Structure 1
Amino acid sequence: MSFKSTALESLPHQFIDAEKVFNLRDVGGWDAADGKKVRTGRVFRSDNLGMVTEADVDLLVNRLGVRHVIDLRRAEEWEVAGRFPETPGVEFHHFELLHVRWEAIGREYPEGADVVPFLRQRYSGMFESGYRSVRDSLDVIASGEPVLFHCMAGKDRTGLVAAALLSVLGVDEADIAADYALSNVGIARWRAWRDANLGKPAAESGLTTPAEAMAATIAEMKERFGSMRDYVRATGFDRAEALREQLLH
């Protein structure tokens, strides 16, 4: 069942409509450095792929041409939510983006203005503890074959890899934050499916992606490393030129 028409009247152009993937979108299309643009149809991001239907696999593999799937989650998350099925022609990569689990922090997910500093603190810490995952993901993307990377909701771990990638490509910080904020649309689509199929919970969990949170995170990483590009270089990723050659036009 498609949720393009049932959850929202229309989707931002970055979104790709699938049956049971709600935050699937193309990372390309943004303006980049030197008057270039990020190529579309090469790199995709999404939420959990554990519920994909046959039609979804056909969409990803045969229509979008995905040849690499990068799962940024903990392996035990697969037991709860599943993982992308073994599929001929698709290489599966497990690059867990290491971080202190949010549920172990001992703080409730904040509301209102408090969510921005909360996410900035979480994200900057995740960039440091999960640097190997960022580096390895960019290495696969630099291979030149179509790639999809994802986590659970497609907003936090996925958002950090997307921010690192777009920074290397010279995308403006405001656009990187705007790309991150689009996950609010994907979350709304997932909630519409959940409410219709599983029932609406008594209390809504805190899932939100304000652009200000990514902007604040980038600002903090600049304080720590000098720039996001310098951070990516510090992870050990050394194929930035190849990445730009592959993905800019």
Structure 2
Amino acid sequence: MTVETLPQQFIHADKIFNLRDIGGWDAAGGAKVKTGQVFRSDNLGMVTEADRDLLVNRLGVRHVIDLRRGPELEQAGRFPDVDGVEFHHFELLHVTWEDIDLGIDASASHEEVVRFLRQRYSGMYEAGYKAIRDSLDVIATGEPVLFHCMAGKDRTGLVAAALLSVLGVSEEDIAADYELSMVGIRRWRAWRDANMGKPANEGGLTTPAEAMLETLQEMKSRFGSMPAYVAATGFDRSEALRSQLLE
């Protein structure tokens, strides 16, 4: 996929494949989510000098939130120390998927994937609530923020969904934002195949919009609404978020 054909949310980088602006979505009351303030991405362990310049100097990122487990940081690397950029490690706690033997892999049916992801995501929201709260606290400072995990789809997608819910973005658009990660995954796989070789068996799952829609419905059944869930995490700056990120 060429730079010219990337969806508008994407920002081209050398070795960041799922980098995009979370802004631009319609919100409640005719508002829009501001662009240029909050970004989401995949792993930053391979960033080039040009990527670092893009994030720090062109996008103005002042906070990087890493949602991964400690061993993932050690194995895949992390965003380097840069003057003026604060690094936050907020592990989004969850049972590792490798330890769940339900026969869900790249050959699973669409329905099986959606059910598996809904179950995992709703569980991650509860187990990892502190990372959700702490990430939103950093975003509420009003300084440009980038948050990420490994592929930038699951843990990153949950923080994005919580944030967009507080901002009044529709569930359909939240699910559309989530589904865009498949573009990033395809870009990563193309680079990997060209530079590291194609694996015999493709790992990882897709990001069907239905998985996020069903997750949001599940959280509504548990908490009444996604904003109510966010409040239950202890986050109390929702008005500040709306004031800073809506236009």
Aligned ranges 1:38-117 → 2 under 5 Å: 38-110=33-105, 111-112=108-109, 113-117=111-115
Aligned identity (percent) is: 76
Question: Are the equivalent residues in 1 in contact too, given 2:104–2:112 (CA < 8 A)?
Answer: no
Aligned ranges 1:169-188 → 2 under 5 Å: 169-188=167-186
Amino acid at match of 2:225: S
| Residue ranges of structure 1 left out of the alignment (5+ in a row) | none
Q: 1:22 aligns with which of 17, 26, 36?
A: 17
1:207 Cα deviation from its structure 2 partner: 2.5
1:9 Cα deviation from its structure 2 partner: 5.8
TM-score, structure 2 length as denominator? 0.97
Distance 1:194 1:182 in 2: 19
Instruction: Supply the RMSD in Å over aligned alpha carbons.
Output: 0.9
Question: Are the equivalent residues in 2 in contact too, given 1:43–1:147 (CA < 8 A)?
Answer: yes
SS in 2 for 1:84: coil
The residue that corresponds to 1:246 in the other structure is 244
- 2:217 is the counterpart of 1:219: yes
Question: Are the equivalent residues in 2 in contact too, given 1:109–1:206 (CA < 8 A)?
Answer: no
The residue that corresponds to 1:191 in the other structure is 189
TM-score, structure 1 length as denominator? 0.96
Amino acid at match of 2:66: D
Q: 1:149 aligns with which of 143, 147, 161?
A: 147
1:99 Cα deviation from its structure 2 partner: 0.3
Distance 1:12 1:118 in 2: 27
Amino acid at match of 1:55: A
Amino acid at match of 1:182: L
1:80 Cα deviation from its structure 2 partner: 1.4
The residue that corresponds to 2:28 in the other structure is 33
Distance 2:226 2:74 in 1: 34
Aligned length: 244
Runs of 4+ residues over 4 Å off in structure 1: none
Question: Are the equivalent residues in 1 in contact too, given 2:113–2:205 (CA < 8 A)?
Answer: no
1:106 Cα deviation from its structure 2 partner: 1.9
Distance 1:31 1:106 in 2: 39
